[in-house]
Structure 1
Amino acid sequence: MNLKTIIAGALLAGTISSAQAADYVIDTGHASVNFRIQHLGYSWLEGRFNDFSGQFSYDAANPEAAQIAVTIKTPSIDSNHAERDKHLRGDDFLAVKAFPEATFESTAFTPAADGSAVLSGNLTLHGVTKAIDIQVSKVGEGKDPWGGYRAGFNGTTQLNLKDFDINYNLGPASDSVYLDLNVEGVRQ
């Protein structure tokens, strides 16, 4: 589920309001790539990817030129249940031995009048690359107590598992996975 890691980085890229172009590295200690999917239509299964990295650049004077790249280590999937995680890492779902990483690279950033934005890009998951859109909003930005400068964003997107050749049948209510991304970047 590389998508989470990719998406988390992507979210950051679009809404930074600093006056100059800046490059940021995702602070993974203050970021998360989360997912949720219905389990058989009866409840929600939530989890995260614990190992991801990424960077983004943003120029408030030219936000449409924002760029982001994120890599998620798919074996780091964590649903808080060891046996389920083993199944999710296997061939029915992520096939992490064959596809140990998921990546996201942005292709466009489209700000809206209300301050939100759409981050578009290519997500590669399970060996398949598809164009996706992530709904992004800025959380905040400013100086940190250690003399650095940070910017934070959140975003969400919905993925159809079959689009990424993940065909395990958990019923029609479980065809889609939702990614919830929280990203904090440190300006370089």
Structure 2
Amino acid sequence: MKKLSLTLVGLLALTASQVASAADYVLDVKGAHAFINFKANHLGYSFLTGRFNKFDGKFSYDAKDVAATKITVNIDATSIDSNHAERDKHLRGGDFLAVEEFPTAKFVSTKVTDKGGDKVEVVGDFTLHGVTNSITIDATKIGEGKDPWGGYRAGFAGTTTIDVSDYDFKAGWVGKIELELLIEGIKQ
């Protein structure tokens, strides 16, 4: 009986240490160390690039249990910036983002798979233009460690491609858009 009790105590301690080793991070948008960029084909002649200037998010991460990672990112769709005011007005309008009706986009992870060698596959629900679809982000852990201000940070880069026809855009001729996420989080 004594041996069983010690085994149970050991198991509880091990479980507690695994739970305690996961860390919660907030995206460093205040210090401009996180970015959400996009790239779209422009009429088959060139590419249009831009970014979303306003977003926030958080993630929970443990290098020893990558599968337990949880990620949430909220994007202010009104902050789209393609470096051209008139085009941005059009992108915010009814043909594309329709920001008056759908001012935010959101990503919530549902599954994270460690692919080895700092490679991670992140599957989650992406809501854009009022439509939610499952997407896969191929990501790489850039690094983690102490920062010069006494904090601790972790950074990742990831890409995914979405088809605007999956999100009910009126201007379906745009086709596919590549999203690039450069995420640096500050441990809480």
TM, length-normalised to structure 2: 0.86
Offset at residue 141 of structure 1 (A): 1.0
Q: Does 1:20 align with 2:21?
A: yes
* CA RMSD, Structure 1 to Structure 2 (Å): 1.1
Q: Gapped runs of 5+ residues in structure 2?
A: 1-19
Shift of 1:117: 1.1
Output aligned runs, 1:28-107, within 5 Å.
Answer: 28=29, 29-107=32-110
Separation of aligned partners in 2, 1:20 and 1:133: 26
Partner of 1:112: 115
Aligned length: 167
Which letter does structure 2 place at the counterpart of 1:185?
G
| 1-structure distance, mates of 2:63, 2:172 | 44
Matching residue's letter, 1:136: A
Q: What whole-Å deviation, never above 9, does each CA across 1:33-88 have from its counterpart, x for those lacking one?
A: 00000100000100000000000001222211110111000000000000000000
For the structure 1 residues 41 and 130, does the alpha-carbon distance in structure 2 shift closer, same or farther, using more than 3 Å as the test?
A: same
Q: Distance in 1 between matches of 2:133 and 2:106?
A: 11
Output the CA distance in 2 between the equivalents of 1:84 and 1:152: 31
Whose radius of gyration is greater, 1 or 2?
2
> 1:166 corresponds to which residue?
169
Q: If the length of structure 1 is used for normalisation, what is the TM-score?
A: 0.86
SS at the partner of 1:95? Answer: coil
